[in-house]
Amino acid sequence: MTSETQWASRLRGRPLTRPFQIVLVEPEIPPNTGNIARLCAATGSSLHLVGALGFRIDDHAVRRAGLDYWHLVQVSTHPDLAAAERALGVAAARTWWLSGKAKRSYLSADFRPGDALVFGKESVGLPEPLLEGKGAQVIGIPTLGAVRSLNLANAVSITLFEALRQVGALA
């Protein structure tokens, strides 16, 4: 089997015309963001990095980290959340705010292509004042054990793949 045949035989979903928007607010840990960037490349999702980053994403830093897929990701940086929301504009169908303090499960969300999935920084998540008034748009991932929350890259993966499943992109 040639490498071209092997590539063509891999399990692939169909690309969305309106990709999901992954928004990370002040991410702190470079490997998490690298994993999320790879996930975005694999799913055709856009990645938005908001506010102060805990690392550099210039060409040299990305090459040094071995992120050879970085060029496959549509990455945008925004100075703050308001700027990110303006940039997303109509690109985002709706915005979902992921929080370890949510009362509603991500499994009850009705995702649509183009939705923005917003995640907070690893150490504290999204600030509570930001979540006030967002109501049913604040969702979380249920856990069974005593762990306070999941790793950021895992939380993005879980939520994004449920969104992709709901919109039929994985069939």
pLDDT on residue 45: 96
| 167 pLDDT more than 80 | yes
**Domain membership flag for residue 7:** no
For 105, the domain range is 17-166
pLDDT at 8: 56
158 lies in some domain? yes
| Residue 147 predicted with pLDDT over 90 | no
**How do residues 18-46 score in pLDDT, each as one tens digit?**
899 999 999 988 888 888 998 999 999 99
Query: How would residue 5 be classed by pLDDT, with cut points 50, 70 and 90?
Result: low
Does 66 fall in a domain?
yes
SS3 of the chain: the string is CCHHHHHHCCCCCCCCCCCCEEEEECCCCHHHHHHHHHHHHHHCCEEEEECCCCCCCCHHHHHHCCCCCHHHCEEEEECCHHHHHHHHHHHCCCEEEECCCCCCEHHHCCCCCCCEEEECECCCECCHHHHCCCHHHEEECCCCCCCCCCCHHHHHHHHHHHHHHHCCCCC
pLDDT tens per residue, range 114-146: 999 999 999 999 999 999 999 999 999 999 988
Residue range 60-84: average pLDDT?
A: 79
Number of separate domains in the chain? 1
Residue 85 lies in a domain: yes
Does the pLDDT value for residue 92 go beyond 70?
Answer: no
Residue 17 pLDDT grade (very low, low, confident, very high; cuts 50, 70, 90)? confident
- The CATH number of the domain holding residue 145 is 3.40.1280.10
Residue 58 belongs to some domain of the structure? yes
For the cut 90, the answer to whether the pLDDT of residue 107 exceeds it is: yes
Residue 90 pLDDT greater than 70, yes or no: no
- Assigned domain for 12 exists: no
